[in-house]
Amino acid sequence: MNQILITKKLYITPELKRKKKIYKFNFLLSVFLVCILASICIYAEYDRNKSEQTSQEIMNNFNAQAQEDTTVAKNNLLVVVLNEDKTETSVSDSQSNLGEKNEYQTIVDKKKVETTSEGYRYSTIATINIPKINVQYPVLDGKTDSEEETEALLKISPTKFWGADPNEVGNFCIVGHNYRDTRFFSKVPTLENGDLIEITDSSSKTLRYSVYNKYQVVPEDVSCTSQLTDGQKEITLITCTNDSSMRVIVKARAV
């Protein structure tokens, strides 16, 4: 009879209470960590989307500026060709206004220099278009080429890493993040020999490059940036593998 009247509380030992507290603590800690990780993932996705939007705005501004500069150049050319009897006057006027034009060009150049939120200065020197993987981005160029500056710029868009200027003889090396989705250089590792890449420089000149090699190297290997191109115009795209342990190198030559 006494056994029947015993309540459950008599069976809750101090050891059981201790285990129960530990279980509650671990549960609450797990919930807290899940919330933190979810917040980090949400912020990272937001930051990437914001970077994508910023990159597209930079490219639109670059294209608009290039179009404006091309139009001005064409109009100046038409003045000289169509007014043959006023050629000397036009040349004279051009010379007299040279200081004014240089001042205008300096203003334009200054407008092309932007500053990141971290205080790094850069300019947009080209755009890259890879039709196969639907990649269209501006290519940025920092002012100091420091590692910290490059990291800051890579959050915005693909960036010049080393080498020749766009569409010039030499090896124009571009580095871009692999976000393991469709943004920036995430799909660059899927390129194959023969795929085309288009580079448009600040003078609106567009050259097409054909991929001729793709391989992986360790992060410390920078031999892909060599400028020994035998007088050819080449580009090198650099990004990470999906696990970030290696670097994917894509080489292309002007066609």
This prediction's pTM: 0.66
In terms of pLDDT, which residue wins out, 1 or 31? Answer: 31
In terms of pLDDT, which residue wins out, 42 or 111? Answer: 42
Report pLDDT for 22: 81
pLDDT, tens only, 54-69: 767 777 777 676 555 5
- Two structure tokens written together for 85: 């009897």
Is residue 177 within 8 A of residue 239, CB to CB? The reply is yes
pLDDT band with cut points at 50, 70 and 90 for residue 241: very high
Report pLDDT for 118: 86
Report pLDDT for 130: 97
In Å, how far are 61, 97, 120, 134, 221 from 185, measured between CA atoms? 21, 45, 22, 10, 19
Is residue 159 within 8 A of residue 153, CB to CB? The reply is yes
pLDDT, tens only, 178-235: 999 989 999 999 999 999 999 999 999 999 999 999 999 999 999 999 999 999 999 9
Q: Which domains does the chain have, with CATH numbers?
A: 43-254 (2.40.260.10)
- Is the pLDDT score of 74 beyond 50? no
In SS3 terms, the chain reads as CHHHHCCHHHHCCHHHHHHHHHHHHHHHHHHHHHHHHHHHHHHHHHHHHHHHHHHHHHHHHHHHHHHHHHHHHHHHHHHHHHCHHHHHHHHHHHHHCHHHHHHHHHHHHHHHEEECCCCCEEEEEEEEEEHHHCEEEEEEEECCCCHHHHHHHHCCCCEEEEECCCCCCEEEEEECCECCCCCECCCHHHCCCCCEEEEEECCCCEEEEEEEEEEEECCCCCHHHCCCCCCCEEEEEEEECCCCCCEEEEEEEEC
- φ/ψ region of 167 (left if φ > 0, alpha if ψ in -120 to 50, else beta) reads left
